[in-house]
Amino acid sequence: MATVDNLNRKLSPDAVKFGAMGLKPTWAMRSDYFSQRYTTHWGELPTVKVMVCPQPLPAVLSDGSNAD
């Protein structure tokens, strides 16, 4: 106990704590925009539409020229 007191005096109050004291989180998750059923209702899941190209697109290099 004396060692914990010495460390807290040297570093800062509550620098060393016992596990039973717990921690107060400095942040909290914001759930303002979540649906109440965000993982349980299929109709509320986002959908993605994919367009399939009939032929592959030509490869383009980073300088804008074609790789062909």
Segment 37-53 mean pLDDT:
77
Is the full-model pTM beyond 0.75?
A: no
Q: Can you tell me the distance from the alpha carbon of 30 to that of 42, in angstroms, rounded to the nearest whole number? A: 23
Higher pLDDT, 29 or 62: 29
pLDDT value at position 31?
A: 73
pLDDT value at position 68?
A: 60
Residues of the chain with pLDDT > 70: what percent? Answer: 78
Q: Can you tell me the distance from the alpha carbon of 35 to that of 39, in angstroms, rounded to the nearest whole number? A: 9
The residue ranges of DSSP E strands in 1-68, in sequence order, are: none
pLDDT value at position 56?
A: 75
Q: Can you tell me the distance from the alpha carbon of 55 to that of 60, in angstroms, rounded to the nearest whole number? A: 15
Q: Can you tell me the distance from the alpha carbon of 22 to that of 17, in angstroms, rounded to the nearest whole number? A: 8
Q: How confident is residue 22, by pLDDT bands cut at 50, 70 and 90?
A: low
